[in-house]
Amino acid sequence: MRSRLSIYYTYGIIALWAIACFVFFQGFYSYHLFYKEQTQLFLFSIDYLNTYFSKPAWLACLGGDFLTQFFYYKFAGAAILTIVLLLLGDFTRRSFECCMCGRFSFVIALVVMTVEAIFHFRADFRLSSAVALIGSMGLFLLYCMILKEWIKWGVAVLFVILGYWMFGYGCFAFVLLVVLHDIVQPKGWIKLALFVLAVGFPLSMRAHYLLTWQASLSYPGIGKFQKPNFTLEKILALDNEYYFGNYDKVLKIVHQSDKSLPEVSYFYNLVQARRGLLPDSLLNISQQPQGLFMKLGPNASMIDLYIGGEVFNLCGDMTFNEHSAMLANVFSFQNRNARMIKRLAEVNLVNNDTAAALKYLRILQKTFVYRKWSAIRMPRSQTPAVKDMLQQKRQYINRLDTLRNAGNYRLVLAGLLRSNPQNIAALDYLLCDDLLRKDISSFKKDYDAFYLLRSKRLYQEALLIYLAGMKAKPEDCAKYHISSGLLKEFNEYTAIYVQAKGNRWALRDKFGHTYWYYFHFINKR
Amino acid sequence: MKARFYYILVWMIAIFAACTPQPKDVNKVSALPPMYPDYPDITIPYNIAPLNFLLRNDADAIEVVAQCGESVLQVNKRGHEICFPIAAWKKFMNEAKGKTADVKVSARINGRWVQYRTFEWQIAADKIDPYLSYRLIEPDYEVWNHLQLIERCVENFEEHVICDHNLVDNSCMNCHVYGNQDPKLSLFYVRGKNGGTILNRNGKLRKLDIKNSQMISAGVYVGFHPSGRYGVFSSNIIIPAFHAVDSKRLEVYDTKSDIFVADFDRNTIYSCPQLSDSTVLETFPTFSPDGKYIYFCTARRANLPKEIKKLKYSLCRISFNAANHSFGTKVDTIYNARLKGHSVCHPKVSPDGKWLVYTVADYGTFPIWHREADLQMMNLKTGAIDRLATVNSNRSDTYHSWSSNSRWLVFASKRDDGLYGKPYFCYIDRAGKAHKPFVLPQKYPAFYDDNLKSFNIPELSKGKLPFNAVDIERLMKKENEKFK
């Protein structure tokens, strides 16, 4: 009766653990899992699969990456991760039961599963690590089935070598279990020899696999403890929802997020620019003083590289769109990133560079997840919706060649506007970027060069600053169609500013959302 | 027992043969097979690795029959890819050496066999140097991650890593070049904290800091003196910038550049006013095969990037005396950019001294993204220029290197997709006629489809390098040898 109860308890605890794991990763961490999928690219091609043999742990990496590709689908990421961790727990329990640790095996299994789950808090931690442990424990369970002692030790040596080849650092788990299993047996030197082999073999293969000694002993990667990174989860949520066109959801997440994060304002601005409302909403949330763009380059964080191209995609600059996709691709796992390969295909389709587009579409055709996406974009099989989308994007591409360095976004946007003055997103990004950087003279220049007669209060407020600085006459204000009401407000602001000797609190309530207030008090340098 | 074994073996072979599709009721068409890589009607060296290929159609079975006199190489495969057995390929190539083989490709598409127009492979008796080195890098070039320098045997599919990102702290590494196509004389750069110029001379590795106070940067483009004692380097201030329109993408230009010669015996740097004029940009230096001249490219400084289209490099040469490391006083202009209207890059003289091949582009010093960039070949005796129409494509065809017998060229071409550079080989026969080039064959025909790296600076060599990536890892821990 007692034993049946303990079985029920065991299953109950496992079920609770599995539910907790699934709920956490699905409900609170699903964007991390999606990110893991997006920053790799698994191909069903012999040539690609063959690359797994260039490093140890080929089977663990292959298995892990194969499963990770399904993280693309809703609920699949959390479900797969939970199943893999349960499998890991089961193999751990069975292995430790074989080691005569039956009493503790369940607890040990729970600890191993939980630790491995914690390792998955990191966005760059791969599933292959868990597969490596499962595989090596599988080898150990096979080893336990051998009864003849002289065969056993021979097999143990073989399994250390095989274990490293197939499961990398998992071979240490195998040796540890063997030692525990045969702890009562007298031949201590054999166990020592196994340990030496488990360390010596990876080190001897270092030149073959081209790994540092640390990497050779820990391949495919041992995790690190860290707290769940909910800030990154928010950023990934913004990115994901923006990517799938759920703009209302993006705004909802923005309002629930720490608005001082540059990535939060970045996505907020993208959504507002897409809706033509960037100047209307620019000052509604905290903005970055350096402007509207992510700083891209070799020193940028992976997440900034990953999201930084969206603005060029929106404004229509295909060169920087391609460049940023290439950057994110280069810094992804194995220099392959599913989303960026899609982006590269699309950029070249927009540019009518069929040969280049085919390069990426052919790669995507070898995936399980993106095969259909690629098929409807193949030059002769494009659906009307794809053709429309491409046509729409082509309207905005740059047609005038200029030479720009990677940080000169003003030149990028000006070029786009010269090619197509109707490119409202580019226009708003150009003007708002000037304003955030408080570069009023550049704003005035850009305004005069590109502005179409849209009545945007933000721009008129900024113009008033310029005109006041230039001591302009009232007829100059009329030239810019500045309403008398706004002029009156500006005069009132100036009067209070002077009267309060620049005290922001005197102006905040009434003028807190004006550009004048931003200019004087926010993001002071 | 033995009899039973043979009985089973015969049956297995019979079953396997029956499973291999054989053409029947073949419909002949006049079109060439839609094969990738583009291997019809090419000239290949007899020692090249099998030219595995795939068909870009719905073929589910293929038969290839290559015939040269009595020699036949036949392969039947399921699927749309053909991989030749290497032993049979080698045998066939040796028998067909110096002759022309007819290649017949048949494919089964939707259950019906189609036989395409027969094409030719001219199998040159002139051997290509068996090793090729290159850097694998994403075509953006501005940034890097996980770089490798690779040495590949072109006679088979073996490759080994010369320098690996894992072992050099993910530092940038620049292109590996040989002197006299000799594996015991080569050089490359590893940048970054512990970086330096890695010199492999007579199989001995050294890490050098080739820079003195007069130089504006460490070495960039490099060429060896035939003696191996000297290297000629350019030092450049390089600025990357992006084109706004789609096709050119990246432009790289120099705001300053000079040329100097480094003496590897005395760790000394030499230069002369003609090669380090501050009003002029000098770059892409290379020695003539006899070591008596330095060929280089030069342009007047322009207001960059505004006047980038006015930046056109001429090809010049200056004499060099290795005995006393002195330079001539006169600079000869071999190709005048002002008169010809193009800009020259990457000059290299053939080892027999007869030909000078270089890249021409409309402007600038970085032709990799210039669609119009083409190779040209100058007869150094007559000055006649061959525009190499059979070699060039409508995408960038640039950086080349010679085989030691002067019969083969390897160059980087973006002809397939406009993005990823691949090494193409081209035969130059004894009369100086260039033949249609072909891409480096790969074990898996779909390799280039899946690959996301460019083959940068392909260089041929007569043998295998005497060091590997772990040797470089060890060398990186040593101090640099200083130059004065």
Please list the ranges in chain A whose pLDDT falls under 50. Answer: none
How many C-beta neighbours within 10 Å does residue B98 have?
A: 11
- pLDDT higher than 70, residue B11: no
How far does Cα A56 stand from its chain's mean position? 26
ipTM of the complex: 0.93
Looking at residue B2, what is its pLDDT? 59
Fill in the DSSP letter of residue A261: S
Which amino acid, A145? M
Unique residue bearing structure tokens 């100047």: A279
Does residue A404 belong to the interface with chain B, where contact is any CB pair within 8 Å?
yes
Looking at residue B312, what is its pLDDT? 96
B168 by Cβ neighbours in 10 Å (0-12 / 13-18 / 19+) ranks as buried
Q: Which residue of A has its CA nearest to B470?
A: A207
How far does Cα B365 stand from its chain's mean position? 18
Using CB atoms, pick whichever of B251, B419, B470 lies closest to residue A359: B419
Rounded to the nearest integer, the mean pLDDT of chain B is 93
Q: Which residue has the higher pLDDT, A507 or B198?
A: B198
Assess contact for B44 and B23: CB atoms under 8 A. no
> Residue A47 and residue B444: Cβ atoms within 8 Å?
yes
CB pairs under 8 A between A and B: 118
- Residues B288-310, buried b or exposed e (16+ Cβ, 10 A)? bbebbbbbbbbbebbebbeebee
Q: Which residue of B has its CA nearest to A412?
A: B244
Looking at residue B248, what is its pLDDT? 76
* List of residues 6+ apart from A63 with CB closer than 8 A: A127, A128, A131, A135
**Cα B191 to Cα B197: distance, rounded to the nearest angstrom:** 8
Angle among Cα A286, A459, A398 to the nearest 5 degrees reads: 90
Assess contact for B166 and B192: CB atoms under 8 A. no
The structure tokens listed for B303 are 């207001």
**Cα B189 to Cα B195: distance, rounded to the nearest angstrom:** 7
User: In B, which residues are within 8 Å of A406 by CB distance?
Assistant: 142, 240, 242
Using CB atoms, pick whichever of A330, A401, A402 lies closest to residue B145: A330
Q: Which residue has the higher pLDDT, B216 or B125?
A: B125
For the segment B303-321, what is each residue's pLDDT rounded down to a tens digit? Answer: 988 899 999 999 999 999 9
Helix (H, G, I), strand (E, B) or coil at A404: strand
Q: Which residue of A has its CA nearest to B143?
A: A298
Best CA proximity match to B425, nearest among B397, B452, B448: B397
**Cα A163 to Cα A139: distance, rounded to the nearest angstrom:** 7
User: In A, which residues are within 8 Å of B444 by CB distance?
Assistant: 45-47, 50
User: In A, which residues are within 8 Å of B138 by CB distance?
Assistant: 326, 329-330, 335
> Residue B246 and residue A402: Cβ atoms within 8 Å?
no
Distance from first CA to last CA of chain B, Å, rounded? 78
Using CB atoms, pick whichever of B144, B161, B419 lies closest to residue A210: B161
How many C-beta neighbours within 10 Å does residue B403 have?
A: 26
User: In B, which residues are within 8 Å of A335 by CB distance?
Assistant: 138, 145-146, 452-453
Looking at residue B381, what is its pLDDT? 95
Q: Give the CA-trace dihedral at A128, A129, A135, A137, to 10 degrees.
A: -160
Assess contact for B351 and B405: CB atoms under 8 A. yes
Unique residue bearing structure tokens 């279990």: A177
Which amino acid, A135? G
Q: Which residue of A has its CA nearest to B138?
A: A330
Looking at residue B15, what is its pLDDT? 60
φ/ψ of B393, rounded to 5, equals: -125, -175
**Cα B381 to Cα B368: distance, rounded to the nearest angstrom:** 29
Looking at residue A6, what is its pLDDT? 80
**Cα A113 to Cα A85: distance, rounded to the nearest angstrom:** 6
Residue of B246, B372, B442, B467 to mutate, interface with A, max A Cβ within 10 Å = B246
For the segment B46-71, what is each residue's pLDDT rounded down to a tens digit? Answer: 999 999 999 999 999 999 999 999 99
User: In A, which residues are within 8 Å of B245 by CB distance?
Assistant: 319, 398-401
Residue B53, strand partner residues: B82
Helices (H), A205-274: 206-209, 213-218, 230-243, 247-256, 262-274
Confidence of residue B204 (pLDDT cuts 50, 70, 90): very high
**Cα B450 to Cα A21: distance, rounded to the nearest angstrom:** 36
Confidence of residue B366 (pLDDT cuts 50, 70, 90): very high
φ/ψ of B301, rounded to 5, equals: -65, 145
Residue of B254, B417, B472 to mutate, interface with A, max A Cβ within 10 Å = B417
Does residue A394 belong to the interface with chain B, where contact is any CB pair within 8 Å?
no
Tell me how close the Cα of A381 comes to any Cα of chain B, in angstroms.
15
CA distances from B303 to B155, B300, B370 (A): 48, 10, 20
For the segment B384-394, what is each residue's pLDDT rounded down to a tens digit? Answer: 999 999 999 99
Residue B238, strand partner residues: B254
3-state secondary structure chain B: CHHHHHHHHHHHHHHHHHHCCCCCCCEECCCCCCEECCCCCEEEECCCCCCCEEECCCEEEEEEEEEECCEEEEEEEECCEECCCHHHHHHHHHHCCCCEEEEEEEEEECCEEEECCCEEEEEECCCCCCEEEEEEECCCCCCCCCCEEEEEECCCCCEEEEEEHHHHCCCCECCCEEECCEEEEEEEEECCCCCEEEEEECCEEEEEECCCCCCCCCEEEEEECCCCCEEEEEEEEEEEEEECCCCCCEEEEEEEEEEEEEECCCCEEECCHHHCCCCEEEEEEEECCCCCEEEEEEEECCCCCCCHHHCCCEEEEEEEECCCCEEEEEEEEEECHHHHCCEEEEEEECCCCCEEEEEEECCCCCHHHCCCCEEEEEECCCCCEECCCCCCCCCCEEEEEECCCCCEEEEEECCCCCCCCEEEEEEECCCCCECCCEECCCCCCCHHHHCCCEEEEEEEECCCCCCCHHHHHHHHCCCCEECC
Rounded to the nearest integer, the mean pLDDT of chain A is 92
Looking at residue A152, what is its pLDDT? 86
Confidence of residue B420 (pLDDT cuts 50, 70, 90): very high
Best CA proximity match to A333, nearest among A359, A302, A308, A304: A302
Looking at residue A8, what is its pLDDT? 87
Confidence of residue B324 (pLDDT cuts 50, 70, 90): very high
Using CB atoms, pick whichever of A50, A330, A359 lies closest to residue B417: A359
DSSP codes joined into one string, A70-138 = GGGSTTHHHHHHHHHHHHHHHHHHHHHHHTT-HHHHHHHHHHHHHHHHHHTTSTT--THHHHHHHHHHH
Assess contact for A240 and A34: CB atoms under 8 A. yes
Using CB atoms, pick whichever of B420, B447, B469 lies closest to residue A210: B469
Fill in the DSSP letter of residue A175: H
Using CB atoms, pick whichever of B167, B241, B450 lies closest to residue A47: B450
User: In B, which residues are within 8 Å of A323 by CB distance?
Assistant: 140, 142, 242, 249
Unique residue bearing structure tokens 């006169």: B330
How many C-beta neighbours within 10 Å does residue B319 have?
A: 15
> Residue A404 and residue B241: Cβ atoms within 8 Å?
yes
Q: Which residue of A has its CA nearest to B249?
A: A319
- pLDDT higher than 70, residue B22: yes
